[in-house]
């Protein structure tokens, strides 16, 4: 598997042949010490997580129910500022703990356990690499992930459990410092990639072997990573389709098929199949039931929308009491034949009742302002 897919006509320089058995032999040699991995959404599809762009089954194809102006808006920072609810709805479905890592994720762990893994670059936000046991310092989440969260305004880090509860219940998390919106550290359109990603890219020059698994290599700058390893570094593509320039170098091996199946074939050639099974079995109890309603004492603080509704109701109730009392007072004064306050020369310090000449109350509008030092009610 592999040689028939390559567009390179000459012989390989490092590998004996462009196939999995030659890759396995090279991995067991002293020349292979720094293995790099690039992971895409295709690695997680067998876990039940849909990718983004597949027709009918991808995330973008199933977002119509969120009433978005266009599918990508759910991951746009400006749209999130205006309406965070669609993202919170989607995030609940992707929340870590809902899905079990795949055998491919367990293979990455084996690379780390055998001190072969230098860096795992991943486009995925699902944290399945972490849940499979890959050390966090070996993982570079190019597009961020659910592993941490912070305020989008002041960057204050937000508590893990509170964020988890917010995503489970759909209650929008608010920063305790500035009352800004909180979201997981997932890179939205309009945001910069993590500094850790940029700092890790130069390390690719140290690569002795690169695995490119389950990615279409269409999103930049992640896609360009495959071109940054040395020319003599073997590159192994494990994917349903050929992508990028994989196959154009003498030591490129293209293994087209389902990720988990190809990885198992490679582990057989390495003699790691039993280890793969054991590593994957260790993840079988990692799925958490998120349909449970949290206990009352674990309920999150009320969200911004709820607080605003209650504030408006409270202000309205107070106004009704005040205006009702004033209206009744004015009515009694008029019935006694006394001069109307609205027509008298009352001192400037005396409060003028909000009534019209026919003793009907004026229309009062309540404005609630957010995140300002201005008074929250104006008449």
Backbone angles phi, psi at 194, to 5 degrees: -60, 145
Q: Is 79 one of the annotated binding-site residues?
A: no
Per the CB < 8 A criterion, the answer to whether 290 and 95 are in contact is yes
What the chain holds in terms of domains, given with CATH numbers, is 11-49+101-143+193-286 (3.40.50.1220), 52-98+145-186 (3.30.1600.10)
Mean pLDDT of 40-69: 72
Both tokens of 286, joined, read: 């990692």
Given a cut of 70, whether residue 331 has pLDDT beyond it is: no
Average pLDDT, the chain: 80
Q: Which residue has the tokens 């700092």?
A: 199
**Of the listed 105, 118, 137, 143, which one is catalytic?**
143
The stretch 55-72 carries a mean pLDDT of: 67
Q: What is the pLDDT of residue 101?
A: 95
Residue 214: per-residue pLDDT: 96
Give residue 38's pLDDT band: very low, low, confident or very high (50, 70, 90): very high
Of 243 and 291, the structure prediction assigns the larger pLDDT to: 243
What percent of the chain clears pLDDT 90, i.e. is strictly above it? Answer: 58
**Following DSSP, what letter does each residue of 162-205 receive, concatenated?**
HHHHHHHHTPPPB-TTT--BEEEEEPPBTSPPPHHHHHHGGGGG
373 is in an annotated binding site: no
What is residue 91's predicted lDDT score, i.e. its pLDDT? 86
Q: 374 is written with which tokens?
A: 């201005």
Beta-bridge partners for 355: 361
Q: How far apart are CA 27 and CA 210, in angstroms?
A: 11
120 is in an annotated binding site: no
The annotation status of 321 as a binding-site residue, yes or no, is: no
44 is in an annotated binding site: yes
- Catalytic: 118? no
Choose between 79 and 317: higher pLDDT.
79
Q: What is the pLDDT of residues 221-238, one digit of tens each?
A: 999 999 999 999 999 999
Residue 216 assigned as binding residue: yes
Under the banding of pLDDT at 50, 70 and 90, the label for residue 92 is confident
Show the tokens assigned to 279: 């590593």
């Amino acid at each position: 598997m592999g040689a028939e897919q390559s567009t390179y006509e000459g012989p390989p320089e490092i590998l004996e042949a462009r196939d999995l058995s030659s890759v396995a032999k090279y991995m067991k040699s002293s020349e292979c010490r720094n293995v790099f991995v690039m992971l895409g959404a295709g690695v997680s599809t067998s876990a039940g997580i849909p990718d983004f762009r597949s027709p009918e089954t991808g995330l973008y194809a199933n977002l119509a129910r969120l009433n978005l102006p266009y599918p990508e808006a759910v991951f746009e920072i400006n749209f999130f500022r205006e309406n965070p609810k669609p993202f919170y709805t989607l995030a609940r479905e992707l929340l870590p703990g809902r899905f079990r890592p795949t055998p491919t994720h367990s293979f990455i762990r084996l690379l780390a356990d055998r001190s072969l893994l230098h860096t795992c670059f991943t486009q995925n936000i699902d944290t399945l690499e972490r849940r499979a046991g890959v050390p966090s310092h070996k993982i570079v989440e190019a597009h961020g992930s659910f592993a941490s969260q912070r305020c989008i305004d002041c960057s204050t880090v937000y508590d893990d459990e509170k964020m988890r509860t917010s995503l489970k219940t759909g209650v929008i998390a608010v920063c305790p410092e500035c009352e800004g919106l909180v979201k997981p550290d997932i890179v939205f359109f309009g945001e910069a990639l993590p500094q850790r990603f940029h700092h890790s890219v130069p390390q690719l020059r140290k690569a002795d072997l690169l695995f490119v698994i389950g990615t279409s290599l269409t999103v930049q700058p992640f896609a360009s990573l495959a071109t940054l390893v040395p020319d003599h570094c073997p590159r192994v593509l494990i994917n349903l389709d050929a992508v990028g320039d994989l196959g154009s170098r003498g030591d490129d091996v293209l293994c087209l098929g389902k990720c988990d199946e190809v990885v198992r074939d490679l582990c057989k050639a390495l003699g790691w199949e039993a280890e793969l099974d054991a590593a994957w079995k260790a993840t079988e109890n990692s799925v958490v039931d998120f349909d449970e309603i949290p206990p009352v004492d674990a309920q999150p603080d009320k969200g911004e929308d709820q607080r605003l509704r209650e504030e408006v109701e409270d202000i309205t109730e107070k106004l009704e009491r005040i205006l009702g009392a004033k209206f009744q007072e004015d009515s009694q004064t008029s019935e006694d034949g006394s001069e109307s306050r609205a027509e008298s020369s009352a001192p400037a310090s005396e409060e003028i009742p909000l009534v019209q000449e026919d003793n009907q109350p004026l229309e009062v509008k309540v404005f609630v302002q957010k995140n300002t030092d201005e008074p929250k009610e104006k008449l």
